[in-house]
Structure 1
Amino acid sequence: MNTTTFESFRQQRLAEGFDEVLEREWAPLTELDTHSHPFAANALVARGEMWLTVDGHTRHLLVGDTFELDAHVPHAERYGAEGAAYWVARRNA
């Protein structure tokens, strides 16, 4: 069982040099075509499930799973029938 709280996630990531930490909520069955962000991201799935595709490889992520993306990395996202939420720390350029 994952006992991490949002506040402990936030404090740890800020201590690691990330400058923004927030929770993202996604509606059921949301799909985001390939895109990128101007920030690096370190995230923890807090609710639901998602599929993250990077460089032709798709990962199925469940509660407690983590993922990292460098800035400007093209990726696509798909969220499950229950929707999803993840906590994400961002390192802005």
Structure 2
Amino acid sequence: MDRETFTESLTKDSFPDAVVVTREANTSMDVHEHPFEAKALILEGEMVIRAGDTEQTYKVGDVFHLPANKLHAERYGPNGVTYLVGRK
């Protein structure tokens, strides 16, 4: 998905303005949760999200969507990751 289409989808789904997040290469976050729903578009690099027994790799152009309070872990690729995320 491209950035313009993604931004339009956030607006349609009533997300406030999106922010850009960058994570360093080869780092991770242990299992955690957020009190908000998150929908993000990968702009650069890649990341892996593990929720329960499911692990998914996201690369440039991919979108991930996490509901509020969903336990998950994150791992960032060899070039890190930059993503555009809407939170509500």
3-state DSSP of counterpart to 2:41: strand
> Is 2:82 the partner of 1:85?
yes
List, as ranges, runs of 4+ consecutive aligned residues in structure 1 with deviation greater than 4 Å. Answer: none
Gaps of 5+ in 2: none
Deviations for 1:73-92, whole angstroms, at most 9, x for unmatched residues? 0000000111111111111x
Normalising by structure 1, report the TM-score.
0.84
What code does the residue aligned with 1:25 have? T
Residue number in structure 1 paired with 2:10: 13
Q: 1:72 aligns with which of 62, 69, 74?
A: 69
What code does the residue aligned with 1:49 have? E
Per-residue deviation, 1:59: 0.4
Residue number in structure 1 paired with 2:56: 59
> Is 2:22 the partner of 1:36?
no
Larger mean Cα displacement after TM superposition, 80-89 or 14-23: 14-23
Gaps of 5+ in 1: none
Residue number in structure 2 paired with 1:49: 46
3-state DSSP of counterpart to 2:7: helix
Q: Identity of counterpart residues, as a percentage?
A: 35
Normalising by structure 2, report the TM-score.
0.89
